[in-house]
Amino acid sequence: GNSVTQMEGPVTLSEEAFLTINCTYTATGYLSLFWYVQYPGEGLQLLLKATKADDKGSNKGFEATYRKETTSFHLEKGSVQVSDSAVYFCALTGGYQKVTFGTGTKLQVIP
């Protein structure tokens, strides 16, 4: 079956630092890749997505590129803020709309 592997957390960064959260996957076929964010006490919110190879998803300064050759969808942001502190989930879906999530990476940004 499909699987998603994320880098272990927690990740602690100072404000304005560069962020990378690695995500790799094992899956075949036509995929869509997603990054969801979960703020404390809340449900998951879609952050960005990419629906075909070499697509770049972007939102709120976050970016991720669907790299089929390396089966990766790493999340990046050039300058993080304290308000970005949350848990980030990488996910994918193929046929039948079934979504497979990674285990999440907790990001803590300190002032």
Which chain residues interact with other proteins by CB under 8 A?
4, 30-32, 34, 36, 42-46, 49, 51, 89, 91, 93-99, 101-104
Residue whose tokens read 């899956």: 27
Minimum CB distance to other proteins smaller for 14 or for 45 = 45
Sheet bearing 19-21, strands edge to edge: 19-21, 75-77, 62-65, 56-59
**Structure token digits, residue 98:** 């079934």
Query: Least distance to other proteins from the beta carbon of 30, Å?
Result: 7
In the complex, minimum distance from the CB of residue 32 to other proteins, in angstroms, rounded to a whole number:
4
- H or E element, residue 37: strand 32-38
**Short-list 97, 102, 43, 40, CA closest to 72:** 102
In the bound state with other proteins, the residue whose beta carbon lies nearer, of 1 and 111, is: 1
Least gap, CB of 15 to other proteins (angstroms): 26
CB of 11 or CB of 17, closer to other proteins? 11
